[in-house]
Every structure is written in C-alpha cells, then in structure tokens.
Amino acid sequence: MSDKQYRLASAARGGLLYMRGVPGVALGDRVVVRDHGGRRRNGQVIRTSDEVVLIQVLEGTDGLDLERTWVRFLDQPFEIEVAPEILGRVFNGVGQPRDGRPRLLSGLTRNVNGAPVNPAARAYPREFIQTGISTIDGLDSLVRGQKLPIFSGSGLPHNRLAAQIVRQARLTSEESQFAVVFAAMGVSFSDAEFFRNSFADSGVLRNVVMFLNLADEPTIERLILPRAALTAAEYLAFERDLHVLVVMTDMTHYAEALREVATAKGDVPARKGYPGYLYSDLAELYERAGRIRERHGSITMMPVVSMPSDDITHPIPDLTGYITEGQLVLSRELNSRGIYPPVDVPPSLSRLMKDGIGKEHTREDHGRVASQLYACYARALEARNLASIIGSDELSESDQDFLTFAEAFERRFVQQGEDEDRGIIETLNLAWDLLSLLPPQALTRVDPADLAKYHRWRGDAPKFP
C-alpha cells in the first residue's frame, strides 16, 4: 500500500484532512501529503474507518486544495531515527536535521509514542542532584529521575534559570555529566539562540540534542516534537546508559496546539476550551521521566510552563502540577525587586526531596532546616503583610525579627548570581546564618541537637524544662 498515492481528499480544514474510500489504514500511521506545488507535508492518521480516514497535517492545511492533493500512506507508525550521534545535533519537530548536516543513517528507529513503563519496573528516584541554586538544593531538592517543572510568566527569567540548571547540575557523588535533551516548542528565535549560546559557552553543546520548533513554524508539529525529544531521551537513558536532563519549553505552546486540533476535530471542551484528555495527554509526556530498575540511565525532566496571566489555576499549570513531582514557581514581585532567581518559595515544592536528602545524601539536618525555613518565611510574610497595614514600627519585637529575617532570606538565600554555583553544604550553612537571626524558641521544627550544633543566637536563651 505504501507505494500508492491517493487523491481522494474530501475536506481540509483546521489542520485536518479527510480522505474518503481508503480502507484498512492503521491508526497512528504516518502519511506524506503532497500539495499541488509539489511541497511535502507530514501527517498522521488520527481516526480511521472503512469510509473516512482523518489525517492531522503537521504543517497545517493552508493552501491545500482537494483536487490536486496527493496522499501517500507509509504504512508505518511515527518514528524517529536514533543513534549515539544525535548528541550535538539539532532536529525539527519530526526528527529531521535542521543543522544543515546529513541525516542519521543508523537504521535504528523508535516509535515516538513510546510505551508506558510498567510501574512495577520503575525504581524510586533518590539521588540528590546539586544544581548550585540555594532555593532548589536547599528547599526543593531535585533528584535523578524526577519531573520538576518551572512555572513562570511572560517576561520572567525562566530561560536563564533553566540554562543555569543545565550548566550546573551534577551529582555530588559522581563526576558523570548529564546529557541534555532540549525540546523547544513555539519559542522565539532569540530564545532558542540564547540556549544554544549558553550551552556553547559552557562547553556542553556536544552533550546536547536539540529539537526546535520556532514561534513562526507550524503549530501542529509541536504535538509530535516533545514525543520525538522524549524518544531520543529514552534511547540515551535506557539504551545508552546516560543520565539525561530534559528541558521542555514551553508546555503552554504545546497545550495550545493540542487545543487547536481538538477544536477542529469537534472534541467536547472541558475547561477554557482545552479538551478533557489534556491531563492524560500531558501525563503521556511527563511520565516518560524516571528510572527503571536494573538500568543505569535516568531521565530527569524540567518542563517550563508559562502561566497565562500568571494564573496558577489555569488548566495547563494546574494539570501539570497534578502530574509532576512538585514545581518551582517564579514570582513577578521578587523579579521586579531585582532578585534572581525569583523563586517564589511558599508555593514551590519538591515531592521527591524526602528520600534524596539527609545524612546519606546531603547532611543530617537538611530536611528539618528546609521545613524550618519554610515555616519562618511563611510567618515572616504574615508579619510583612501586617507591617504594610499598621506600619513596621507598630510590630511586636518578635515580628520585627521575622521582618529582618525575610529581607535577609530573600537577599542572601534566594538571590544569587547567574554564574554562582553554591555547594549544598554552603547552602545549608547559609540557611543557619539566617536562622541565627531568630531566637531558638521560634525554631521548633529543628531538633535541639541541630540548634546546639549550628545555631548561633546572640540573645539570651532560657531553657525548659
């Protein structure tokens, strides 16, 4: 069948092409659509019956007519070519080279949809990754095999943060470097260049494989792109034993492309016009992160989600948060006060932190210090809120202490340089410097033993009992 071309399109609209009278076409198969000018487009079968075959055309249906459009069914699923040599290369959304170099000739292909990992075959992630960023390492630690998104907003420095993480991320126990899979969906040319330059400057470029779809390129291709990128990541991690860090930006553009096609298909919308299966669809991508028992490699994932109007309850960040193992939320307020990285501490979270820290991985007091910093900062924000109403002079003595703590916490702990790579012990010691601004009786989440060892309170400290 693969040799046959059909000219039986019955309708073309919204990126979808309807074909009549082509029986026996398999769901998910790849097709090539040739328009009257001879241009080839990529397509995928998304519904198939005896009468009608529905094709999603990745480059869109603009400029297609029904009479002179030819469709060739390749009789194979959507696959990309993989090889160790993909590192250092740049591909488009369907895995074709866009760096001017020849295509891979490995003969190895992998289905972009992958297959779900058997949960019983997974290994629980518990190896601490040091990113050199205090808010992440100290408060929301990343572990190998985790999926931890960055929730951001337009104009916030999520790209700079992601690039810094890529440059600095390493395991404290091993020297091995991460291989990086970078998936860019609908990003601007300048953002893509920023990443490329950042990787080049730090000398990691030969360890990076990029999949790029720029803002002015076909939207529907963004539906395949992260799948192609994750297929490459799975190959590198589970067949080539590498530790892979996947950065996907921007998931919002991905979800918008999904909505565009869903609307054209007439799917029942759930919230804000997004289809009801957005959760499952995102999960198919995010759940490809992880570790597998008895395999050496791992996939650690950092998707970037820009929250429309900074709204964390918008379906895209909301559903992402339900799937991923925590989130780093960026704050417009901290950013406007010149604090980089502007990580909004209270809503940020790492669910897998508990097993990746402590005596065996970082330091025995880590978990308690993190919990204490969170509690103190929450109390300090209340004090700051109150000060904005009644004035800081009216605050009680202890609230004043907390106000001082908040300022120091933001300026010394949260804020750091874009090239500043802090070790985890440095981060924890810094945390104790800040906690030493508060009296010991305010610190009930750490042990008395921690206080004795690390806390340097200058005031008097009565004891009970």
Partner 1 sequence: MGRVVEVNGPLVTAELAGVATGEQVRIGKLELTGEVIARQGASALIQVYEPTESLRPGEPAEALGHPLSVELGPGLLGGIFDGVQRPLLEQAKEYGDYIPRGGHLSPLDRRRVWRFEPRPQLKTGGRVAEGEVLGTVQETESILHRILVPPDVRGELTEIAGASDVTVDAVIARVRTDNGAISQLRLFHRWPVRSPRPYRQRDNAVAPLITGQRVLDTFFPLVKGGRAAVPGPFGAGKTMVQQQIARWADTDIVIYVGCGERGNEMVDILESFPSLTDPNTGRSLMERTLLVANTSNMPVVAREASIYVGATLAEYYRDQGYDVVMVADSTSRWAEALREVAGRQGQMPVEEGYPAYLASRLAAFYERAGRVTTLSGASGSITMIGAVSPPGGDFSEPVTSHTKEIVETFWGLSKELADARHYPAVDWVESFSGYVASCSAWWAKHVDPRWQELRDIALGLLSQADELARIANLVGPEALSPQQRWTLEGAALLKEGVLQQSALDPLDSYCSPRKQFVLLEQMLAIYRQGLGVLDLGVSVQELLRLPLLASARRLKGSYANDQMEGMREFAAKVDAEFSRLATEYAAQGKARQ
Region 143-172 residues binding partner 1, contact defined as CB under 8 A: 145
Pull the structure tokens for residue 437: 């601004």
Q: Is 309 in the site for partner 1 (CB under 8 A)?
A: no
Strand pairing class (90-91; 208-214):
parallel
Of 74, 204, 270, 339, which one interacts with partner 1 (CB under 8 A)? 270
Q: Is 254 helix (H, G, I), strand (E, B) or coil?
A: helix
Give CA–CA dist 161/145, Å, rounded.
Answer: 19
Min separation Cβ 187 and partner 1, Å: 25
Q: Is 257 in the site for partner 1 (CB under 8 A)?
A: no
Q: Do 451 and 443 meet the contact criterion of CB atoms below 8 Å apart? A: yes
Instruction: Tell me how far CA of residue 463 lies from CA of 23, 397, 438, 439, in angstroms.
Output: 83, 20, 16, 12
Q: Is 374 in the site for partner 1 (CB under 8 A)?
A: yes
Binding mask 75-114 for partner 1 (x = CB under 8 A): --x-----------------------------------xx
Of 191, 386, 404, 408, which one interacts with partner 1 (CB under 8 A)? 386
Q: Is 186 helix (H, G, I), strand (E, B) or coil?
A: strand
Helix (H), strand (E) at residue 69? none
Closer CB to partner 1, 36 or 293, in the complex: 293
Closer CB to partner 1, 27 or 200, in the complex: 27
Q: Which residue has the tokens 């390129």?
A: 217
Binding span for partner 1 by CB under 8 A among 172-180, 194-202, 378-386, 402-410: 378-386
Binding mask 402-441 for partner 1 (x = CB under 8 A): --------------------------------------xx
DSSP state of 29: E
Q: Is 347 in the site for partner 1 (CB under 8 A)?
A: yes
Query: Would you say the C-alpha torsion 13, 17, 18, 19 has a positive or negative sign?
Result: positive
Of 117, 204, 205, 339, which one interacts with partner 1 (CB under 8 A)? 117
Give CA–CA dist 246/316, Å, rounded.
Answer: 19
Q: Is 452 in the site for partner 1 (CB under 8 A)?
A: no
Give CA–CA dist 19/31, Å, rounded.
Answer: 12
Closest alpha carbon to 305 in 320, 284, 324, 283: 320
Q: Is 359 in the site for partner 1 (CB under 8 A)?
A: no
Min separation Cβ 98 and partner 1, Å: 27
Closer CB to partner 1, 164 or 327, in the complex: 327
Could you tell me how many residues of this chain bind partner 1 (CB under 8 A)?
A: 87
